Amino acid sequence: MMSVISCENVIQTFQKTEALRGLSFTIQPNSITGVIGRNGAGKTTLLKLLAGFTKPNAGDIKVFSERPFDSLTVSANSIFVDDQMSFPSALNLKEILQFAAHFYPNWDQELAERLFDYFQFQPKQSHQKLSKGKCSTFNAIIGLCARCPLTIFDEPTTGMDAAVRSDFYRALMKEYLAYPRTILLSSHHIEEIEELLEDVLLIHEGKKLMHIPVHQLSEMAIQLSGSKDVAEKWTKNRKVYDRKIVGTDRVYVVVENDFTDDERTQLKRDGLEIVNVSANDMCVYVTKTTEGGIDDVFRER
């Protein structure tokens, strides 16, 4: 199967800062991939390169088998949605929806109008005067109804309240199931999109940390809690992602999940409690760059 996106050793530098440092990965067609990383990891830089907004300083990017910068094929078959989308100021919201059909061959006008009414927009409103949350919601409608083979959502829920975010994610899943396409979705609300995603591309300091199915991310580690001495015996020579000591003897340890069924049984017999670790928490643990936690900042000296 030919990949929709292929990146090989991509480097992007701004002045003296390397935003992307030798990034390589491929994305298969008709999949939803979460592009995850902390602020400054390089997510937006990568997504704009894929959309053809800029050229990489080094490396090779192919989207639909073409280099995306100045590619009519990529422009005609992709859409980039973020909170900075701009539209002609002379057009009101309703007119923007009507003109969108001229730019996107798969545009669904009926769905756009239903979503427009559902989210309670006014036809004569100006896009420039929308609140941050309403602006993100309108932009999301454009992204959904364009039905581009490559749809890129960069932090699409900025400013949305919880109820609207939930509606957007549900609409996104319904659209994807009815009209499969390749979707890239970056978000800081990882816990909200975990069930949507098939794969996670985790970027840290401009590098690919991992690119795996989301279920594998949530199976990478488990949390053990109980006696400090007992936990240390079981975690010795295993990769520990996080450790918190409570009181004098109790500890919470996030450790790699390579225990056998027999070992899990013995863990419980030894008084340790086992808790699964979410994909969201794993992203936090594996991108942690400082020792200890915030409590250590306030500890007495």
Summarised one tens digit per residue, pLDDT across range 254-297 is 999 999 999 999 999 999 999 999 999 999 899 887 665 666 66
The phi and psi torsions of 10 (rounded to 5 degrees) equal -75, 130
pLDDT-based confidence at residue 299 (cuts at 50, 70, 90): low
Q: Determine the Cα–Cα distance for residues 210 and 171; give it in Å rounded to an integer.
A: 28
Residue 241 has pLDDT above 80, yes or no: yes
Q: Determine the Cα–Cα distance for residues 276 and 75; give it in Å rounded to an integer.
A: 42
- Cα three-residue angle 70-74-80, rounded to 5 degrees: 100
- Cβ atoms 212, 260 nearer than 8 A: no
Give the ranges where 147-220 is alpha helix by DSSP (H): 162-178, 190-193, 214-218
> Mean of the per-residue pLDDT values for the chain?
93
Q: Determine the Cα–Cα distance for residues 22 and 140; give it in Å rounded to an integer.
A: 31
Q: Determine the Cα–Cα distance for residues 36 and 285; give it in Å rounded to an integer.
A: 13
- How does DSSP classify residue 127? G
pLDDT-based confidence at residue 16 (cuts at 50, 70, 90): confident
Indicate where the chain has its CATH 3.30.70 domain(s).
Answer: 221-298
Task: Find the range with the poorest average confidence among 114-128, 182-196, 197-211.
Answer: 182-196
What is the chain's alpha carbon radius of gyration, rounded to the nearest angstrom?
22
- Cβ atoms 224, 193 nearer than 8 A: no
- How does DSSP classify residue 154? E
Residue 301 has pLDDT above 60, yes or no: no
pLDDT-based confidence at residue 85 (cuts at 50, 70, 90): very high
| Residue 26 pLDDT | 97
Q: What is the sign, positive or negative, of the torsion defined by CA atoms of 10, 15, 16, 17?
A: negative
Q: Which CATH class is domain 221-298?
A: alpha beta
Structure tokens at 130: 């929308």
pTM: 0.91
What is the fold of 5-205?
Answer: Rossmann fold (3.40.50)
| Residue 17 pLDDT | 86
Q: Determine the Cα–Cα distance for residues 65 and 78; give it in Å rounded to an integer.
A: 13
CA dihedral 250, 256, 260, 263 (to 10 degrees): -20
Q: Put the strands of the sheet holding 221-227 in their side by side order.
A: 240-246, 250-256, 221-227, 273-276
Instruction: Please report where in the chains the tokens 């001229």 appear, as a residue.
Output: 102
| Residue 288 pLDDT | 82
pLDDT-based confidence at residue 77 (cuts at 50, 70, 90): very high
pLDDT-based confidence at residue 5 (cuts at 50, 70, 90): very high
Indicate where the chain has its CATH 3.40.50.300 domain(s).
Answer: 5-205
| Residue 246 pLDDT | 86
Phi-psi sector, 15: left (phi>0), alpha (psi -120 to 50), beta: left
| Residue 140 pLDDT | 97
- Cα three-residue angle 146-150-155, rounded to 5 degrees: 80
